[in-house]
Amino acid sequence: MIIPWTLQRYIFREMGKTFLLTAAGLTVTLSLGGGLLRMIEFGEVTPGQLLRIMALVIPVAAALTLPIAALFSAAATYGRLAADNEFVACRSGGINLHVLFLPTVVLSLVSAGVTFGFTNFLIPGIVQNLDEFIASDVGSLIRQRLARPQGLTLGGGYRIHADGCVADPAQPDHVTLQRVMFVEVKDEEWVRYGSAREVHVNLDRSASPIRLSARMSGVSFYDRKDSQFVDVEEQIIAPSEIQAMVPLVVRYLDLPGLLYYRDHIDEWHQVARTLRDLRLQIGRRAVLDDIEADLKDDKVLTLRDDRFECTILADGPPARIARDGGIELGFTTIEEKRDNRVRTARAERVIIEVSRGDDLDASTIAVQAYNAKLTLENRTLDRAKESFGPLAIPKDLRERLAAMSIDDLVSVATTASERDPIAEKRDLAVRVRGECLRRIAATLNERTAFSASVFVLVILAAALGIVFRGSQTVVAFGIAFIPSLFVIISIVMGKQMANNATTHVAGLGVMWLGILAAAGLDLWTLTRVLRR
């Protein structure tokens, strides 16, 4: 077989010029158009950070434009050669036309490989680093968020406004807010609001994603639920994740991340959160079950931890509040020992609750006494409401629940009630787990299919360029895009179907159907049409 290396180099050179010019033009157009930047929330980005992000957008845009440039250059180059009767001359000289497709095969392989690398490594890596750019200056980050109408949002539903923000260069991950007003929101309702002398905000970079925690000092607030004013010297705000510019979702994971979470799906943050909530709900019920059992035995309950001890003596049997809301008692005597001080109360009604912390370690047992006569240091006071505790969850119970496997969690017995909170959280955990597994499988197939489509479409574009003799730019453009549109639609539609439980397998098939059709068209064009 004759291999005309001079002609091969000529085709390589012509395709290369067209490819580079097209890729450069499309990349600049896409970057300046800002289509990629719309995925990013720029309300909290400084000008310097914006320039750094723009430097990253160009390679991301290039990853999207290289396949298009390869298609266009193949169709335009081979179409022009066909229009100039170059292939007729080659055939007359005894050269097999299929040999002349070597430059196209090389370009298609390179384009497919680059596309695979960009979609699986470059773009996810850039996305994952965006939030580190923004969090590099914690002072600027906090100031920008304080300037928003809703203020700075921290864990536990706190919305904070401050007159001053002081950053210490010696502590780059610490900021002090001064003259603070805050609101605590629960279910879109204000439950507490007040002021604080200072709020110390700390950035934890070791966590993934990055988290903010805070400590308020000199706090005065009004509790709407209890209708009372409260002064405390210090109050801790639980850590909360920094809202990402680009959300942490499956499609932004790199290839090693996708493969890891496919095999360890219970560590994915959405699944882990639902499992944590399920474990917490099971733990809260277990605590209340143990308390109820103790009270039913002899109507006496003793709660203790490292700080103090609380003894409850009930006159009557305990009553369970619906949906694990707690335990209610009638006339009850409560004795609390703390720091060699004894506080005693005789209450008409007592509620024993388990607080809703992020986990059992952060949850506590609290006792609320209503219409109580409180005895303290030989004084007797009438109180409409008096709080005892909070006490830590018993350590043995926390360890037992922490050791429960995923299978143990989802197999915990539930009540027959349709609104059983454990059943609701279990169903949610199972559903979210399945959804995330399907998204990971769909994303893996989508990226592989897209990269494979570049290979078959570039070859098809070159073959159709010869068939239609596309010497005109518009003709070459149309030749390259019509088959590509069909393949891209099949991949997108297949991914959407693969995300649904009922159409998952069919969606994966649809995703590859367009590529198989393009490969079949490749084979038919190269073996049948070009012979004529």
For residues 224 and 305, membership in a common domain is answered with no
Which whole number is the average pLDDT over 345-357?
88
Instruction: Please report whether residue 445 resides in a domain.
Output: yes
- Residue scoring higher pLDDT (476 or 431): 431
Residue range(s) defining the domain that contains residue 477: 5-135+438-529
- Residue scoring higher pLDDT (59 or 531): 59
Which whole number is the average pLDDT over 22-48?
62
pTM of the model: 0.76
Specify whether the CB–CB gap between 222 and 241 falls below 8 A: no
Among 220, 241, 262, which residue terminates a domain? 241
Whether the per-residue pLDDT at 247 is higher than 70: the answer is no
Which whole number is the average pLDDT over 97-108?
88
Q: What separation in angstroms does the CA of 48 have from each of 39, 138, 171, 230, 246? A: 19, 14, 22, 44, 18
For residues 131 and 41, membership in a common domain is answered with yes
- DSSP state letter for 66: H
For residues 219 and 305, membership in a common domain is answered with no
For residues 448 and 400, membership in a common domain is answered with no
Q: What is the pLDDT of residues 286-302, one digit of tens each?
A: 889 888 888 888 888 88
- Residue scoring higher pLDDT (165 or 358): 165
Per-residue buried b or exposed e for 160-197, using 16+ beta carbons within 10 Å of the residue's own CB: bbbeebebeeeeebebbbeebebbbbeeeeebbebebe
Give all strands (DSSP E) within 187-299, no chain letters: 189-204, 211-223, 228-241
Residue 246 has what pLDDT?
59
Residue 83 has what pLDDT?
84
Specify whether the CB–CB gap between 176 and 170 falls below 8 A: no
SS3 category, 243: coil
For residues 331 and 369, membership in a common domain is answered with yes
Which whole number is the average pLDDT over 402-423?
79
Per-residue buried b or exposed e for 79-94, using 16+ beta carbons within 10 Å of the residue's own CB: bbbbbeebbeebeeee
Alpha-carbon gap, residue 301 to 383, rounded angstroms: 22
For residues 158 and 124, membership in a common domain is answered with no
Instruction: Please report whether residue 483 resides in a domain.
Output: yes
* pLDDT band at residue 35 under the 50/70/90 scheme: very low
| Most confident of the ranges 76-85, 385-394, 488-497 | 488-497
Residue 434 has what pLDDT?
94
Instruction: Please report whether residue 103 resides in a domain.
Output: yes
For residues 331 and 393, membership in a common domain is answered with yes
* pLDDT band at residue 526 under the 50/70/90 scheme: confident
Residue 349 has what pLDDT?
92
Average pLDDT, the chain: 83
Residue 112 has what pLDDT?
92
Whether the per-residue pLDDT at 507 is higher than 90: the answer is yes
CATH number at residue 214: 2.60.450
For residues 64 and 129, membership in a common domain is answered with yes
For residues 176 and 202, membership in a common domain is answered with yes
Residue 38 has what pLDDT?
47
Which whole number is the average pLDDT over 233-256?
78
For residues 235 and 153, membership in a common domain is answered with yes
Contacts of residue 33, Cβ cutoff 8 Å, sequence gap at least 6 = none
Specify whether the CB–CB gap between 116 and 139 falls below 8 A: no
Residue 39 has what pLDDT?
44
Instruction: Please report whether residue 248 resides in a domain.
Output: no
User: Which residue, among 388, 365, 379, 511, has the nearest Cα to 452 in the 3D structure?
Assistant: 511
* pLDDT band at residue 359 under the 50/70/90 scheme: confident
Among 411, 446, 475, which residue terminates a domain? 411
* pLDDT band at residue 138 under the 50/70/90 scheme: low
For residues 130 and 143, membership in a common domain is answered with no
- Residue scoring higher pLDDT (211 or 391): 391
Residue 50 has what pLDDT?
61
Which whole number is the average pLDDT over 86-99?
80
Alpha-carbon gap, residue 60 to 54, rounded angstroms: 10
Alpha-carbon gap, residue 465 to 76, rounded angstroms: 7
Instruction: Please report whether residue 377 resides in a domain.
Output: yes
- Number of structural domains (the chain) is 3
Whether the per-residue pLDDT at 135 is higher than 60: the answer is no
Whether the per-residue pLDDT at 388 is higher than 50: the answer is yes
Least confident of 109-113, 418-422, 459-463: 418-422
Whether the per-residue pLDDT at 419 is higher than 80: the answer is no
Alpha-carbon gap, residue 389 to 305, rounded angstroms: 10
Instruction: Please report whether residue 350 resides in a domain.
Output: yes
* pLDDT band at residue 127 under the 50/70/90 scheme: confident
Whether the per-residue pLDDT at 45 is higher than 60: the answer is no
Instruction: Please report whether residue 255 resides in a domain.
Output: no
Whether the per-residue pLDDT at 502 is higher than 80: the answer is yes
* pLDDT band at residue 132 under the 50/70/90 scheme: low
Q: Determine what percent of the chain is predicted with pLDDT higher than 90.
A: 26
Instruction: Please report whether residue 235 resides in a domain.
Output: yes
Q: What is the pLDDT of residues 251-260, one digit of tens each?
A: 889 999 999 9
Q: Determine what percent of the chain is predicted with pLDDT higher than 70.
A: 87
For residues 226 and 280, membership in a common domain is answered with no
Examine residue 483 and say whether the peptide bond preceding it is cis (omega within 30 degrees of 0). no
Alpha-carbon gap, residue 158 to 193, rounded angstroms: 9
